[in-house]
């Protein structure tokens, strides 16, 4: 009789649990089922197609121009693209006509000036080629003035006080050095024209304008240095950028079942999975078939757009991957990076996945960066950061390398500010990315050369070695004279410097603006010092030696070849006078110091109003980002996690009550285990709501500090309680796809 009564009570509870499960938690479990039913899309290309067949086929590049433009027009455009000569406005009509005809042949119906406002995303306004004529028909028109200039509404883009809301006029201007391209769509193609975006008063409202200004300033002073080394007519120096893009892929069903991923781009809840990345088995592992299909499709689209994708592989964290293109001019690389991110998002959806570019989409596993590889050079002297086999004899290289050392030492705060964002704060200094302390890694060979210079003169360089592996059938391998250092924010890697601090979600234009500007300052300093020394009668080689000794003596504190993750380095860095700007709130004031504003104003990259606007926009974006995350945290916590936990608590209590009514003593431990974190969750949600509703002040910095010191800890408390509950609440009641599901079911 007793057993029958218990069974009856259990059946009631089971029926209730099934009802709850079907009504409230089907989304997560249905997502898992949908992932299992995934069918890959059919290939969209011929099997005998090669990358060379399609590379650049949708780009209005020099090959296309040479075929379609009059010879004189072509030569004028090449002089601007290849040698940075001023653009002749008289060629615009001929270029526009040829570009229009080419685009129409490619199936384009519209054209768009593409620009990069301070939202961090791409913006574009589409216009039809067709214009009505008097006889009731329409003609395809595209004039030179239309190519050169557009006029989108500028009132609703971030401007940091440069424009009033009611002042709407803004201009786009054609960047002839970044090629136009046709973007394909099943319903019609569009001719896309990369442009700058400025206000009516000529102030930069985008990332491209200051990048072009900074490149020009750097080139001017780099060419001064080259002339001192005997280059009689050096070609225009340009900066090159090779960004490495890290990203995560998850099944789209999981993405749509996670409101935090959908709205914030990162998970605001999620307990650590039983298996994370501790085995290091994902790094450079075999690429999953589904992911490889996605990669092949994205690379095909990138090749068609002239984007030179080179390397693909698994990254450290499960579900994390990387792509690296070849080096390009910095402004073209920045455009291509934005286009790459858009392409990845589009192709991922076709493969039933979501591509996540957030710097830290999953707690407890590695986040994603966008390493910016920087070099400079021209067609006559080549790469100016190429040391050769005996760098101690390569005075020109040593001067340009010393310019980098001086620039980074004097402007570490600006470099940190150039990569500051609420999302990137989750990476920097977290023992998975470079620390927030900006230092330089030179490697054993260069560190030794500069150490010799500091003592008087460099007379030798550590050479390459040979590695005998000990197996007769394996080749003898040449070894580099120095190792790499993945903990360094600014590392020399053989023929370039790698700035490892930029976040995966950011445009590479912002750090490249800073790098080019501080290099312009250092090269200006070096050229001026050498010119003065030679004019005073000092022999040139002696002047170079004296200058190199001075720079490494005054600025060598920024060189650090050790472990940037160690606690000892933070103490040592402070003793060296290096800044440790841990957060965006700490870093952004670097933009409006008198030294920073004087620097950017001197080289005509930003005026003071533009510098203040960047500062204000940075704070605004910081507050908006955390504000959205806070509201989502409260919503999910209050409407999904709290009800699930209460249902589980109720089920346990009901079972205990049924047992007690049947005269059986029940175990209360499980009920007590869920009750404590449930109480913590209620309390944390109340604190978060109070923080959101509190008056954060009207000053931008005051508001940012409120979000940093009040909102972020309150969000963390909600998450902490929730993550404990995830390990307690019955699995079929838990409403959100879990980490082990999102990271491993693909």
Q: What confidence tens digit (pLDDT) does each residue in 77-94 have?
A: 999 999 989 888 889 999
Cα separation, 562 vs 162, whole angstroms: 43
Of the candidates 484, 249, 275, 243, which has an alpha carbon nearest to the alpha carbon of residue 348?
A: 249
% the chain with pLDDT above 70: 93
Of residues 104 and 6, the one with the higher pLDDT is: 104
pLDDT bracket for residue 435 (50, 70, 90) = confident
Cα separation, 419 vs 587, whole angstroms: 9
Q: List pLDDT tens digits, range 125-155.
A: 898 887 766 665 556 778 888 898 888 877 7
Contacts of 172 (CB under 8 A, 6+ apart): 113, 115, 149, 150, 151, 152, 195, 196, 197
Q: Which of 43-47, 202-206, 543-547, 728-732 has the lowest mean pLDDT?
A: 43-47
Q: Which of 114-118, 339-343, 695-699 has the lowest mean pLDDT?
A: 695-699
Of residues 481 and 511, the one with the higher pLDDT is: 511
Asked if 249 and 287 count as a contact pair (C-beta separation under 8 A), the reply is: no
- Tell me what pLDDT residue 14 has: 44
Contacts of 375 (CB under 8 A, 6+ apart): 239, 240, 327, 383, 384, 385, 495, 496, 497
Asked if 345 and 488 count as a contact pair (C-beta separation under 8 A), the reply is: no
Cα separation, 131 vs 140, whole angstroms: 6
Q: What is the mean pLDDT of the chain?
A: 89
pLDDT bracket for residue 45 (50, 70, 90) = low
Q: List pLDDT tens digits, range 263-295.
A: 999 999 999 999 888 888 888 899 999 999 999
Q: Is 69 in a helix, a strand, or coil?
A: coil
Domain covering 2-34+623-744, topology: 1.20.120
Of the candidates 692, 506, 703, 713, which has an alpha carbon nearest to the alpha carbon of residue 619?
A: 703
- Specify the residue for token string 């100016």: 384
* Sign of the dihedral defined by the CA atoms of residues 407, 409, 410, 413, in that order: positive
- Specify the residue for token string 């989750």: 426
Mean pLDDT of 241-262: 95
Q: List pLDDT tens digits, range 536-554.
A: 999 999 999 999 999 999 9
pLDDT bracket for residue 434 (50, 70, 90) = confident
- Tell me what pLDDT residue 419 has: 96
Asked if 448 and 462 count as a contact pair (C-beta separation under 8 A), the reply is: yes
Reading phi first (left if > 0) and then psi (alpha if -120 to 50, else beta), residue 523 is in alpha
- Tell me what pLDDT residue 385 has: 96
pTM: predicted TM-score of the whole model, two decimal places: 0.92
Asked if 110 and 124 count as a contact pair (C-beta separation under 8 A), the reply is: no
Mean pLDDT of 472-495: 80
Given a cut of 50, whether residue 5 has pLDDT beyond it is no
Q: Is 477 in a helix, a strand, or coil?
A: strand
Secondary structure, 3-state, 557-602: HHECCCCCCCHHHHHHHHHHCCCECCCHHHHHHHHHCHHHHHHHHH
Cα separation, 459 vs 546, whole angstroms: 15
Q: Is 423 in a helix, a strand, or coil?
A: coil
User: What single DSSP character describes residue 665?
Assistant: P
- Tell me what pLDDT residue 132 has: 67
Q: Which runs of consecutive H residues, i.e. helices, occur in 55-128?
A: 62-68, 71-83, 92-105
Domain locations in the chain as residue ranges: 2-34+623-744, 54-205, 215-605
- Specify the residue for token string 């993750």: 565
Cα separation, 657 vs 646, whole angstroms: 16
CATH number for the region 215-605 comes to 3.30.590.10
Of residues 90 and 619, the one with the higher pLDDT is: 619
Given a cut of 70, whether residue 198 has pLDDT beyond it is yes
CA angle 516, 518, 522 (to 5 degrees): 110
Class of domain 54-205: alpha beta
Helix (H) or strand (E) holding 371: strand 370-378
* Sign of the dihedral defined by the CA atoms of residues 337, 369, 300, 494, in that order: positive
Q: Which runs of consecutive H residues, i.e. helices, occur in 182-258?
A: 208-228, 252-256
Beta bridge partners, 322, equal: 246, 313
- Tell me what pLDDT residue 10 has: 43
Helix (H) or strand (E) holding 182: strand 181-183
Given a cut of 80, whether residue 121 has pLDDT beyond it is yes
- Tell me what pLDDT residue 13 has: 42
> How many CB atoms sit inside 10 A of residue 379's CB?
12
Q: Which of 132-141, 242-251, 393-402, 510-519 has the lowest mean pLDDT?
A: 132-141
- Tell me what pLDDT residue 22 has: 42
Q: List pLDDT tens digits, range 551-604.
A: 999 999 999 999 998 889 999 999 999 999 999 999 999 999 999 999 999 999
CA distances from 83 to 87, 177, 329, 605 (A): 11, 10, 12, 20
- Tell me what pLDDT residue 536 has: 96
- Tell me what pLDDT residue 127 has: 87
Helix (H) or strand (E) holding 249: strand 238-251
Cα separation, 265 vs 423, whole angstroms: 9
SS3 of the chain: helix, strand, coil, percent, to 5: 50, 15, 35
- Tell me what pLDDT residue 133 has: 64
Of the candidates 109, 273, 260, 79, which has an alpha carbon nearest to the alpha carbon of residue 189?
A: 109
Q: List pLDDT tens digits, range 357-396.
A: 999 999 999 999 999 999 999 999 999 999 988 888 899 9
Cα separation, 746 vs 742, whole angstroms: 8
The C-alpha R_g of the chain, in whole angstroms, comes to 29
Given a cut of 60, whether residue 7 has pLDDT beyond it is no
Half-sphere exposure of 371 (CA within 13 A, CB side): 24
- Tell me what pLDDT residue 700 has: 93
Asked if 302 and 340 count as a contact pair (C-beta separation under 8 A), the reply is: yes
């Amino acid at each position: 009789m007793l057993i029958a009564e218990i069974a009856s009570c259990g059946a009631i509870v089971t029926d209730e649990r099934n009802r709850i499960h079907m009504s409230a938690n089907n989304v997560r479990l249905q997502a898992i089922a949908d992932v299992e039913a995934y069918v890959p899309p059919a290939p969209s290309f011929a099997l005998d197609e090669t990358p060379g067949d399609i590379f650049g086929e949708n780009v209005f590049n020099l090959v296309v121009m040479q075929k379609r433009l009059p010879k004189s027009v072509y030569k004028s455009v090449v002089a601007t693209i290849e040698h940075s000569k001023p653009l002749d406005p008289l060629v615009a009509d001929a270029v526009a006509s040829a570009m229009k005809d080419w685009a129409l042949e490619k199936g384009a119906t519209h054209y768009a000036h593409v620009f990069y406002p301070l939202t961090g995303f791409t913006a574009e306004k589409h216009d039809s080629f067709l214009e009505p004529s008097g006889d009731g028909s329409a003609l395809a028109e595209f004039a030179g003035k239309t190519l050169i200039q557009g006029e989108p509404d500028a009132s609703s883009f971030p401007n940091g006080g440069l424009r009033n809301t009611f002042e709407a006029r803004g201009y786009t201007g054609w960047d002839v050095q970044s090629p136009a391209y046709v973007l394909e769509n099943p319903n019609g193609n569009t001719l896309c024209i990369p442009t700058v975006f400025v206000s009516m008063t000529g102030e930069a409202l985008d990332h491209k304008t200051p990048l072009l200004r900074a490149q020009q300033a750097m080139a001017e002073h780099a060419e001064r240095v080259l002339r001192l080394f005997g280059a009689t007519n050096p070609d225009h120096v340009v900066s090159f950028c090779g960004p490495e893009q890290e990203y995560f892929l998850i099944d789209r069903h999981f993405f749509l079942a996670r409101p935090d991923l959908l709205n914030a781009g990162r998970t605001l809840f999620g307990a650590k999975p039983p298996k994370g990345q501790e085995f290091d088995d994902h790094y450079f592992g075999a690429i999953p078939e589904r992911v490889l299909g996605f990669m092949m499709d994205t690379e095909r689209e990138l090749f068609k757009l002239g984007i030179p994708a080179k390397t693909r592989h698994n990254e450290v964290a499960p579900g994390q991957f990387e792509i690296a293109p070849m080096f390009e001019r910095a402004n073209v690389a920045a455009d291509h990076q934005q286009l790459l991110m858009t392409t990845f998002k589009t192709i991922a959806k076709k493969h039933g996945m979501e591509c996540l570019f957030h710097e830290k989409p999953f707690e407890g596993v590695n986040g994603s960066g966008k390493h910016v590889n920087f070099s400079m050079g021209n067609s006559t002297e080549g790469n100016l950061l190429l040391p050769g086999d005996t760098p101690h004899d390569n005075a020109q290289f040593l001067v340009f390398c010393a310019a980098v050392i001086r620039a980074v030492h004097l402007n570490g705060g600006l470099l940190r500010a150039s990569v500051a964002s609420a999302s990137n704060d989750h990476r920097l200094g977290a023992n998975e990315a470079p620390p927030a302390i900006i230092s330089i890694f030179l490697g054993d060979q260069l560190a030794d050369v500069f150490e010799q210079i500091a003592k008087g003169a460099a007379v030798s360089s550590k050479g390459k070695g040979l590695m005998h592996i000990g197996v007769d059938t394996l080749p003898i391998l040449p070894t580099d004279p120095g190792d790499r250092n993945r903990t360094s924010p600014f590392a020399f890697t053989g023929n370039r410097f790698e700035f490892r601090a930029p976040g995966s979600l950011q445009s590479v234009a912002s750090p490249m603006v800073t790098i080019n500007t501080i290099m312009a300052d250092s090269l200006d300093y070096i050229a001026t010092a050498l010119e003065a020394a030679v004019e005073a009668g000092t022999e040139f080689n002696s002047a170079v030696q004296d200058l190199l000794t001075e720079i490494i003596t005054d600025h060598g504190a920024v060189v650090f070849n050790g472990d940037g993750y160690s606690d000892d380095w933070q103490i040592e860095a402070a003793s060296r006078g290096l800044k440790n700007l841990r957060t965006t709130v700490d870093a952004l004031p670097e933009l409006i110091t008198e030294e920073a504003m004087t620097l950017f104003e001197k080289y005509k990259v930003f005026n003071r109003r533009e510098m203040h606007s960047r500062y204000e926009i940075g704070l605004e974006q910081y507050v908006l980002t955390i504000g959205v995350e806070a509201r989502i945290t409260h919503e999910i916590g209050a409407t999904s996690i709290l009800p699930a936990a209460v249902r589980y608590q109720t089920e346990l209590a009901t079972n205990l009550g049924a047992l007690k009514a049947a005269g059986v003593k029940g175990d209360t431990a499980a009920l007590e285990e869920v009750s404590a974190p449930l109480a913590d969750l209620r309390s944390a949600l109340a604190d978060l709501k109070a923080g959101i509703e509190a008056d954060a002040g009207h000053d931008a910095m005051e508001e940012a500090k409120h979000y940093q010191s009040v909102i972020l800890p309150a969000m963390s408390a909600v998450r902490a309680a929730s993550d404990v509950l995830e390990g307690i609440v019955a699995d079929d009641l838990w409403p959100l796809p879990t980490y082990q599901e999102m990271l491993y079911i693909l």
